[in-house]
Amino acid sequence: MTIPPAEAPVHALWDDLPATEPRAALTLDRDVEVCVVGAGLAGLTVAREAARAGMSVAVLEGRRIGWAASGCNLGSVLPGYGVPVNDLIARVGVAHARELWMLAEAGGDYIRETIAQDAPEIAMVPGALEVSTTDAGERLIRWLQIIGGEFGTEVEGWQIERVREALKTRRYFHALHFPRAFQIDSARYLRALAALAEEAGAQIFEGTPVVSIDAAGIRKRIVTPSANLRAAHIVLAGNVHIGTSAERLATTLMPVWRYGALTEPLGDLLHEAITYRGSVHDDDGIDHFRVVGDRLLWASPETTWENKPERFARAIRRRIATVFPQLAGVAIARTFASPFGQTVHGMPQIGELRQGLWVASGFGRQGLNTSAMAGRLIADGVVNGDDRWRLFSPFELVWAGGRAGRIAGQFADGLTRSRSAAAGALARWRERAAARELLREERRSARIAAAQARTARAAQHFDADRR
């Protein structure tokens, strides 16, 4: 992927986030201990932590900080990873999966503590609901036992009635409720993180794309169009934009564009439809939404090719109307999109590729807690030789299939959506059939009771007449 010019606009989800002056580009050759490529959430967390530990750190960002997915997402800080917990266990076993899960929890804690201590102006809205689009109560109980029992995460199972009390739709059945999950304005958090990294001594250069890297030897060479850098450690945190600077790594990530929209204010209609204030995502990974003031923030469609976000406004309106028919026809105030990097196994790429060359990438659609975790792990690896990143070794760099992989990815997404739609339709049909059967049963019982009452009354009259 090519790096677009530095003056391209920064994604701005919120009206009230003022524009900032661009930081200077790297114009003089330098020597540092740690060079971070990419100023998204992952890169800035590594930079802040390495600088806090006293290392000299330079962050090279091709455009502006948070220009990509990190500055343009729904801001839900969720537990775990973007892969289903049973897949994780199937791959590495329960004990290993538990350690990975706890690291991911620590990622969420990192964001919570950073905001509480250093950026208290950023609001944290608690709670996340993972809703099921099918009547899958048994699966829910199994997951509750694993996530709550084995992994020690705070989680509650919600019955259908409770879910439908909070979300007025028949589309959703049971849910897992994570009370410790929370939502933030991630663009604001990212800016705070950049300021904290700079406060700790890191230097951030914007408009400085890394075009090539020579990672052989103790002092590595990083080439940019305007100047070069030498560093003992390079951290590749460029996500899908890393491009030719790390070609082999780039081929292991499939870029997936996710599209989102913010509606116009919806007033009472919205508050009647959705009384839950945390975020909601379905267990198929299709819809993700939350209420922001009296607007709805919604992310759903995905493509493996870049498209203009405004072209998806209609598709998002359709998704909103599908889930909440009472909100059909809502006006969309703005749309946004960004690519995230999807690995073949669904887990992030975290670790040391060769001595002094690190990677923190591939966080998929769940990159807030996991990029914070990766930032901490890698900084600890660089500074203290901590090798907990090896827990991610089973998830190697796997070729993502190039162009054919993207075609297959788009096809698989379509398939998941149709499968989920069919399974949801079947579950709702079963629910309606069960309700109809219940009604029939009630009517039958009522008819029998009425007939019995009539017989009893007739018998009484008969007895009375005989007397």
Ligand X SMILES: Cc1cc2nc3c(=O)[nH]c(=O)nc-3n(C[C@H](O)[C@H](O)[C@H](O)COP(=O)(O)OP(=O)(O)OC[C@H]3O[C@@H](n4cnc5c(N)ncnc54)[C@H](O)[C@@H]3O)c2cc1C
Residue number with CB closer to ligand X (69 or 280): 69
Q: Is 40 in the site for ligand X (CB under 6 A)?
A: yes
Q: Is 351 in the site for ligand X (CB under 6 A)?
A: no
The Cα–Cα gap between 306 and 288 comes to 20
Shortest distance in whole angstroms from residue 69 CB to ligand X: 4
Q: Letter for the amino acid at 396?
A: E
Q: Is 103 in the site for ligand X (CB under 6 A)?
A: no
Q: Is 368 in the site for ligand X (CB under 6 A)?
A: yes
Looking at 12-20, 71-79, 247-255, 410-418, which segment touches ligand X (CB under 6 A)?
Answer: 71-79
Residue 211 burial by CB count (10 A; 0-12/13-18/19+): exposed, middle or buried? Answer: middle
Q: Which of residues 292-311 bind ligand X (CB under 6 A)?
A: 299
Looking at 37-45, 119-127, 306-314, 426-434, which segment touches ligand X (CB under 6 A)?
Answer: 37-45
Residue number with CB closer to ligand X (301 or 405): 301
The Cα–Cα gap between 291 and 298 comes to 9
DSSP 8-state assignment for residue 24: P
The Cα–Cα gap between 47 and 258 comes to 27
Beta-bridge partners for 235: 36, 358
Residue number with CB closer to ligand X (175 or 427): 175
Looking at 124-132, 158-166, 269-277, 362-370, which segment touches ligand X (CB under 6 A)?
Answer: 362-370
Shortest distance in whole angstroms from residue 202 CB to ligand X: 15
Beta-bridge partners for 275: none
- Between CA 16 and CA 22, with CA 19 as vertex, the angle to 5 degrees is 160
Q: Which of 78, 85, 71 is nearest to 281 (CA)?
A: 78
The Cα–Cα gap between 41 and 189 comes to 9
DSSP 8-state assignment for residue 149: I
Q: Is 61 in the site for ligand X (CB under 6 A)?
A: yes
The Cα–Cα gap between 280 and 132 comes to 10
User: What six digits make up the tokens of 356?
Assistant: 């002094």
Helix (H, G, I), strand (E, B) or coil at 242: coil
Site map 254..283 versus ligand X, x via CB under 6 A: ----x-x-----------------------
Site map 204..233 versus ligand X, x via CB under 6 A: -----xx-----------------------
Residue number with CB closer to ligand X (62 or 424): 62
The Cα–Cα gap between 309 and 442 comes to 51
Q: Which of 132, 134, 153, 239 binds ligand X (CB under 6 A)?
A: 239
Site map 315..334 versus ligand X, x via CB under 6 A: --------------------
Shortest distance in whole angstroms from residue 10 CB to ligand X: 10
Residue number with CB closer to ligand X (364 or 405): 364
Residue number with CB closer to ligand X (151 or 363): 363
Cα-Cα-Cα-Cα dihedral sign, residues 136, 137, 143, 148: positive
Can you spell out the DSSP letters for 67-88? Answer: -SGGGSS--EE-SS-SS-HHHH
Looking at 26-34, 66-74, 265-273, 432-440, which segment touches ligand X (CB under 6 A)?
Answer: 66-74
Residue number with CB closer to ligand X (109 or 431): 109
Q: Where are the alpha helices (DSSP H) in 288-367?
A: 313-323
User: What six digits make up the tokens of 409?
Assistant: 């990815």
Q: Is 3 in the site for ligand X (CB under 6 A)?
A: yes
Q: Is 252 in the site for ligand X (CB under 6 A)?
A: no
Shortest distance in whole angstroms from residue 281 CB to ligand X: 8
User: What six digits make up the tokens of 332?
Assistant: 């969309």
Looking at 41-49, 119-127, 140-148, 268-276, which segment touches ligand X (CB under 6 A)?
Answer: 41-49
Residue at shortest CB range from ligand X: 367
Residue number with CB closer to ligand X (63 or 171): 63
Shortest distance in whole angstroms from residue 112 CB to ligand X: 14
Number of residues that bind ligand X (CB under 6 A): 43
The Cα–Cα gap between 420 and 164 comes to 19
Residue number with CB closer to ligand X (75 or 356): 75
Q: Is 38 in the site for ligand X (CB under 6 A)?
A: yes
Q: Is 133 in the site for ligand X (CB under 6 A)?
A: no
Question: CA–CA distance from 441 to each of 160, 444, 447, 453 (Å)?
Answer: 22, 5, 10, 18
In 3-state terms the chain splits into helix, strand, coil percentages (rounded to 5) of 45, 20, 35
Q: Where are the alpha helices (DSSP H) in 120-227?
A: 137-144, 160-166, 186-199
- Whether the Cβ atoms of residue 409 and residue 342 lie closer than 8 Å to each other: yes
Residues near ligand X (CB under 6 A) are: 3, 37-43, 60-63, 67-70, 73-76, 78, 209-210, 237-239, 241-243, 245, 258, 260, 299, 338, 340, 361, 363-368, 371
